[in-house]
Structure 1
């Protein structure tokens, strides 16, 4: 007796693919409209399904944005950890961290925009306390990179570490508002120009 093979449309792979598609749709809407201004119905309408069908995959709008942000940040901070643990010299580690950050903006612009625009609001909910922890982790990553550069003599010893960290944080991540994938300059080009400005300045030596 022959057995009819399972089709992709009815198996768990298809369900996982649909879930990923819904997350991508939700991420785009959250990034464009803001988390508070996007409803479950908006997401369902954009996906071409009924609102009730969305609850087959997620129990709430908060669960959707939680999965979007936690997955993205786990990957990003995993890359930072790899850089810190690598055998690269301090300057190369710093440069690699900048490149990884701009790569995240290129590959995950919606996730970055959501965090930039809605983190303060989401932090009012207990389930998103990890966003504050990630903020602190980011601070420690950059402070370690900067201090290592100073200790190795590749960065100026008179740097105000906290001020320099805040400058780097704000000038990198704000670029999500104007960077467009596929534009005249790639994210790598922008990252390298950013490093030139940051490390070498804009005046003649």
Structure 2
């Protein structure tokens, strides 16, 4: 299911005085991520990105060789950071439930901090699957999935989680309900991401029926 968010980009007045080239690249990538997420990658042009940044199209090529390079950098950074943090959680947590708690909590933190990158990945990963040059999208996605599955299966083996449910199916339920939150969650909205994560875990573990 495609996930669309309103375009939220950086200010159009250029870089702040004294900021370096790396800051400008990061700003341009944030602008591109917002446009890719809101309009779609194929529908967004280099001119669109340049216009939103308040620069000429040719100036964009001083930082990036192509629109595709920008897409690569956004996705690689998003998936790389996500895998790195999930790996740390799996390594450092004391038990399967703590792993699952922290995986869910960090996912909502990522939605809060980088909603454009999350929405972009949700929108485009299916189309990019199997495309030359984008093999890492599936590869990193599978590594992330295995971390969640190991937590679920370890919890089942230890008796923390129910053994009468399929771990793979449970993972898909959790994955889709967590990440599709980006469709409605607003960083400055009524609910803070910590509260959303807490409520989600409460429903996940306790269900809706009263005890």
TM-score (norm 1): 0.91
Could you tell me whether the CA contact under 8 Å between 2:25 and 2:63 is conserved in 1?
A: yes
Residue equivalent to 1:144? 150
Q: Which runs of 5+ in 1 are unaligned?
A: 1-7
What is the aligned partner in structure 1 of residue 10 from structure 2?
A: none
Aligned to 1:118: 124
Determine if the alignment matches structure 1 residue 78 to structure 2 residue 88: no
- Greater mean alpha carbon deviation, residues 159-168 or residues 117-126: 117-126
Equivalent residue, structure 1, for 2:207: 201
Q: Which residue is 2:49 aligned to?
A: 43
Spell out, residue by residue over 1:27-65, the C-alpha distance to the aligned partner (whole angstroms, 9 max, x if none).
111111010110001001111111111011001111001
- CA distance in structure 2 between the partners assigned to 1:117 and 1:23 by the alignment: 17
Structure 1 residue 138, shift from structure 2 partner:
2.2
2:198 alignment partner in structure 1: 192
Work out the CA distance in 2 between the residues paired with 1:82 and 1:141: 10
Structure 2: segments with no counterpart, 5+ residues = 1-15
Structure number with higher relative contact order (C-alpha < 8 Å, ≥ 6 residues apart): 2
Cα distance change, pair 129–147 in 1 and its aligned pair in 2 (3 A)? same
Name the SS for the 1:68 alignment partner.
helix
Distance in 1 between residues matched to 2:185 and 2:159, nearest whole Å: 33
CA root-mean-square deviation: 1.4
What is the aligned partner in structure 2 of residue 68 from structure 1? 74
Residues 1-205 of structure 1: matches in 2 within 5 Å?
14-205=20-211
Aligned residues: 196
Is the CA contact (8 Å cut-off) linking 2:79 and 2:141 kept in structure 1? no
Structure 2 Cα separation of the partners of residues 200 and 87 of structure 1: 22
Aligned twin of 2:5? none
In 2, distance between residues paired with 1:167 and 1:90?
18
